[in-house]
Amino acid sequence: MPVLILLLSLWLLWTPDLDLAQLQRTYQAAPSDRMNVLGVDLHVRDSGPRDAPAVLLIHGFGSSLHTWEPWAQDLSQQLRVVRLDLPGSGLSSPDPTGDYTDSRSVALVLALLDQLAIPRASVVGHSMGGRIAWTLAATHPERVNKLVLVAPDGFASPGFAYGEAPDVPATLQLMRFSLPKWLLRMNLAPAYADASALTDERTTRYHQLMLAPGSRSAMIARMQQSVLVDPVPLLQSIRAPTLLVWGQQDAMIPFSNATDYTQALAHSQLLALDGVGHLPQEEAPEHTLPQVRNFLLSTQ
């Protein structure tokens, strides 16, 4: 009987993929915003003066390049702003290699910069994208000017160990088949300190892009392949000036982790935001942009 109830529930909550062409008409600014990079069809937006210093924006888990919209619009007035959907996120195709490790992400980012003829860039990363950003800065310092880390991932939570693949619960893996909008909203809500920031429009965008063909399987594969390493040695090797941006009410990656980063990073400063959660770029762009802009434009 429990199995029958589970099967009936899945049938009632079954959530099929959405049509990719329709998603592209809704969320892709131009047909030219597509690049084949290392065999992956990536959704990329490249705005601002081509001869200006470049900044690359890397989104977090389950997100897309749209998370940076207020920042990108502002920064592209003076900088060349490149943002992408990571493979299997947003409108980018799943990676045909099935490799969603951080090393593969770093290789894709470097190849993207090479194809755009950008030898060096400042790099901005949020959450998982922050981990990719600081890994890039540690392993390829010659390619990174400055770092902006927005609530970055990297330090293991209590009960988790470095060097071990995480155990993704079977209930979470069921999202391949069932992801109703109300359930996603319930899981997104803790990311915002201000509940009004999670608008229906924003929830719809997150939901629809997660229903892109292959996206949910790619998300699960990325979770299964996210093997954390002790970040301290890598962080201590970084010489790029770094700005940490962190909401003090972050319920996803605790604000207390900021201390670990400032202690490990030799050239870092912290922008702490009271009353802000895990997504400062969405929840409080007006409070983050002035310092982020000044940091990126500074010649020091």
What pLDDT, in 10s, does the model give residues 14-49? 899 999 999 999 999 999 999 999 999 999 999 999
Which domains, from first to last, does the chain contain?
12-297 (3.40.50.1820)
Work out the pLDDT band at 175, boundaries 50, 70, 90: confident
Work out the pLDDT band at 9, boundaries 50, 70, 90: low
Contacts of 19 (CB under 8 A, 6+ apart): none
Residue 2 has pLDDT above 80, yes or no: no
pLDDT tens column, 102-131 = 999 999 999 999 999 999 999 999 999 999
Average pLDDT over residues 133-160: 94
Residue 176 has pLDDT above 60, yes or no: yes
pLDDT of amino acid 4:
52
Tokens for 43, please give them.
């959704």
pLDDT of amino acid 36:
98
Inter-residue contact 114 to 48 (CB < 8 Å)? no
Q: 95 vs 33, 214, 217, 236, CA distance in Å?
A: 18, 10, 11, 31
pLDDT tens column, 262-275 = 999 999 999 999 99
* Alpha carbons 153 and 143: distance in angstroms, whole number: 21
Contacts of 273 (CB under 8 A, 6+ apart): 245, 246, 247, 248, 280, 284, 287, 288
For 84-105, give the DSSP string: EPPTTSTTSPPPTT---SHHHH
pLDDT tens column, 181-232 = 999 999 999 999 999 999 999 999 999 999 999 999 999 999 999 999 999 9
63 CA to centre of own chain: 6
pLDDT of amino acid 160:
77
Tokens for 36, please give them.
């084949």
- pLDDT, the chain, mean: 94
Place of tokens 């210093």: 53
Inter-residue contact 275 to 248 (CB < 8 Å)? yes
0.85 exceeded by pTM? yes
* Alpha carbons 70 and 138: distance in angstroms, whole number: 28
Average pLDDT over residues 67-73: 98
